[in-house]
């Protein structure tokens, strides 16, 4: 399932992100995959011991498996640490209903609602009334004042009628509320990136070997419009837009984007899936909107989206894709619905362009797609020269070495030189003197590093 595979990739990128583990566990619970869900919640607990949502996730799994006693013990431990944790009382109410104890179920349900007055559960209320209990009725809050639970949240999201979006600013309201106590909303300091800050990379195009076509296209999008303002205006062209770089990994897609930012002194924002995917639906979209707003305010600026296929996969493949609403929000931001994107260059990179949703490839979005292939012989030689800077070398024939490295990506070539440098360093440590990196040293390193770019270059689109 695409949503689970996407979350697995995100966790591989950020294995210490507790919120991703929680979202992964909740998604598994919603799909009935309880064994793996429990492992996900336990992984979250290893990173954040006694995290209430992770503890509750384990208890919810036990409850669904029919292990009511252990579920009750675990939930009571949570409440012993924090008796104002409304979701714990709500789960205890369900447990007591399953154990045919409506009196205690009513007590815990009342406690949950006393903590969060906007909280209500129609299924529990109906069952309590059927068993002769009278839960105190509470007016249902206005839809704009209620958050929507993330997909698969242990508190049975199917039992609520939440709106599709939420206002994350509700998390800042004072006093006990379902937004604060039940769902523990985060502020900007807890996000995967700081939306109030941006990078100013120090590199330049001089640090990137080859890729002249890519450099020229990026200059046309962000530099030349300011140097030739009248000409660009005459042709109806504005700075910014969308560019999609695709090709084998390690061939310089990220590097050339950072070099552009250094070349132009533009504000640089880098986004990866694990940085924007929040467990509370609505918060991710709001963060994305805030980021674009900051980029617009700091134009000329660059927004770089790495691994676009992980975020913007085909939406039709999974209606419950947890990042689906984020994908829709990204499309809206690219269209500039909330403000002009003039001066904002959106660059994305992918090693699997076939997996990118076609909505991103239409005119007005990533309408310029550029292949970033493995480096040519001249570029490979230049990369080797760059790697040799400030290192002791002796009689290196860069062109000859480049000829031995067909289908090596830029990252592969850098790795070859690192291996060669390690070998020379070990020998220098034994001799207690500087030992230069020689042709033989590099050739031995080439034999130990396999090329990752394949036997043939991908065709251009």
pLDDT digits (tens, 9 = 90+) for 30-41: 888 899 999 999
Name the pTM for this structure. 0.54
Residue 129 lies in a domain: yes
Q: What is the pLDDT of residue 315?
A: 55
364 and 264, same structural domain?
yes
Q: What is the dihedral of CA 373, 374, 377, 381, to 10 degrees?
A: 120
The answer to whether residues 252 and 388 belong to one domain is: no
- Chain centroid to Cα 136, Å, comes to 42
| pLDDT at residue 281 in the model | 56
The CATH number of the domain where 426 resides is what? 1.10.8.60
Indicate if 87 and 211 belong to the same structural domain: no
12 in a structural domain: no
Do residue 26 and residue 160 come from a single domain? yes
Same domain, 139 and 235: no
Alpha helical stretches, state H, 177-311:
212-222, 224-227, 229-234, 253-264, 273-276, 283-297, 308-311
Average pLDDT, the chain: 76
Of 166-175, 238-247, 336-345, 355-364, least confident by mean pLDDT is 166-175
Q: Is the pLDDT of residue 358 over 70?
A: yes
pLDDT at residue 307 greater than cutoff 70: yes
Do 71 and 135 lie in one domain? The reply is yes
Q: Is there a single domain that holds both residue 127 and residue 58?
A: yes
pLDDT at 155 over 90: no
User: What six digits make up the tokens of 158?
Assistant: 């199917």
| Within-domain flag for 395 | yes
Q: Please tell me the distance from the alpha carbon of residue 295 to that of residue 263, in angstroms, as a whole number.
A: 17
Residue scoring higher pLDDT (161 or 370):
370
310, 339, 371 - which closes a domain: 371
Answer whether residue 38 is part of any domain.
Answer: yes
Please choose, from the candidates 196, 218, 202, the residue with its C-alpha nearest in 3D space to the C-alpha of residue 298. 196
Describe the strand order of the beta sheet including 301-305 as a list of residue ranges. 267-271, 301-305, 344-350, 241-246, 368-371
Task: Check whether residue 352 and residue 384 sit in a common domain.
Answer: no
Q: Which domain holds residue 419?
A: 377-448
Local structure of 269: helix, strand or coil? strand
Among 107-116, 288-297, 434-443, the minimum mean pLDDT is found in 288-297
Determine the Cα–Cα distance for residues 166 and 142; give it in Å rounded to an integer.
12
Q: What's the sign of the alpha-carbon dihedral 267, 270, 271, 276?
A: negative
Distance CA 263, CA 198 (A): 16
pLDDT for the residue numbered 426: 92
Residue 291 pLDDT greater than 90, yes or no? no
Same domain assignment for residues 82 and 210: no
- Gap between the Cα atoms of 348 and 215, Å rounded: 15
Instruction: Give the count of domains, the chain.
Output: 3
Q: How far from chain centre, in Å, is Cα 152?
A: 19
pLDDT over 70, % of the chain: 76
* Residue 334 included in any domain: yes
Tell me the average pLDDT across 300-318. 73
Domain membership of residue 1 (yes or no) is no
What SS3 class is residue 196? coil
Domain end: 313, 340, 371, which one? Answer: 371
Same-domain pairing of 231 and 260? yes
Q: How far apart are CA 35 and CA 295, in angstroms?
A: 43
Domain membership of residue 211 (yes or no) is: yes
Q: How many whole angstroms from its chain centre is CA 335?
A: 21
ω before 300 within 30° of 0 (cis)?
yes
Judge whether 300 lies within some domain.
yes
Question: What CATH number is attached to the domain comprising 213?
Answer: 3.40.50.300
Based on the fold, state whether residues 397 and 342 are members of the same structural domain: no
Other CB atoms within a 10 A radius of the CB of residue 363 amount to 8
Look at strands 344-350 and 241-246 and give their pairing. Answer: parallel
Are 332 and 420 found together in one domain?
Answer: no
């Amino acid at each position: 399932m695409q949503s689970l595979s996407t979350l697995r990739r995100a966790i591989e990128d950020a294995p210490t992100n507790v919120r991703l583990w929680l979202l992964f566990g909740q998604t598994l619970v919603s799909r009935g995959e309880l064994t793996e869900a429990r492992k996900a919640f336990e992984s979250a607990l290893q990173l954040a011991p006694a995290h209430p949502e992770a503890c509750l996730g384990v208890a919810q799994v036990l409850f669904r498996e029919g292990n009511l006693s252990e579920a009750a013990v675990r939930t009571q431990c949570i409440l012993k640490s924090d008796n104002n944790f409304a979701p714990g009382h709500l789960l205890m109410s369900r447990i007591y209903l399953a154990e045919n104890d409506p009196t205690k179920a009513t007590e815990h349900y009342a406690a949950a609602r006393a903590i969060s007055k906007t909280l209500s559960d129609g299924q529990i209320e109906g069952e309590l009334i059927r068993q002769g209990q009278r839960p105190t009725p509470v007016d249902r809050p206005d839809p704009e004042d209620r958050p929507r639970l993330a997909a698969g949240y242990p508190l049975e999201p199917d039992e609520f009628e939440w709106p599709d979006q939420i206002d994350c600013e509700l998390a800042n309201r004072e006093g006990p509320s379902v937004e604060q106590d039940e769902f523990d909303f985060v502020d900007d300091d807890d996000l995967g990136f700081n939306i109030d800050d941006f990078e100013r990379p120090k590199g330049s195009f001089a640090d990137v070997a080859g890729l002249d076509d890519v450099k020229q296209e990026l200059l046309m999008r962000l530099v030349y419009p300011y140097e030739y303002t009248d000409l660009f205006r005459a042709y109806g062209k504005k700075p910014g837009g969308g560019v999609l770089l695709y090709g084998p990994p390690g061939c310089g897609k990220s590097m050339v984007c950072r070099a552009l930012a250094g070349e132009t002194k533009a504000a640089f924002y880098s986004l990866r899936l694990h940085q924007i995917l929040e467990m509370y639906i609505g918060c991710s979209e709001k963060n994305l909107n805030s980021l674009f707003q900051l980029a617009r305010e700091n134009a000329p600026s660059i927004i770089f989206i790495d691994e676009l296929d992980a975020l913007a996969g085909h939406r039709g493949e999974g209606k419950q894709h947890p990042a689906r609403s984020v994908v829709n929000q990204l499309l809206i931001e690219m269209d500039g619905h909330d403000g002009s994107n003039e001066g904002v260059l959106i660059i994305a990179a992918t090693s699997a362009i076939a997996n990118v949703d076609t909505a991103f490839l239409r005119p007005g979005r990533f309408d310029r797609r550029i292949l970033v292939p493995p480096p040519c012989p001249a570029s490979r030689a230049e990369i080797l020269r760059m790697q040799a800077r400030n290192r002791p070398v002796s009689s290196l024939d860069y062109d000859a070495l480049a000829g031995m490295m067909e289908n090596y990506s830029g990252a592969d070539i850098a790795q070859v030189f690192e291996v060669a440098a390690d070998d020379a360093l070990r020998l220098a440590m034994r001799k207690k003197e500087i030992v230069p990196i020689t042709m033989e040293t590099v050739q031995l390193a080439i034999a130990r590093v396999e090329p990752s770019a394949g036997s043939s270059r991908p065709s251009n689109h």
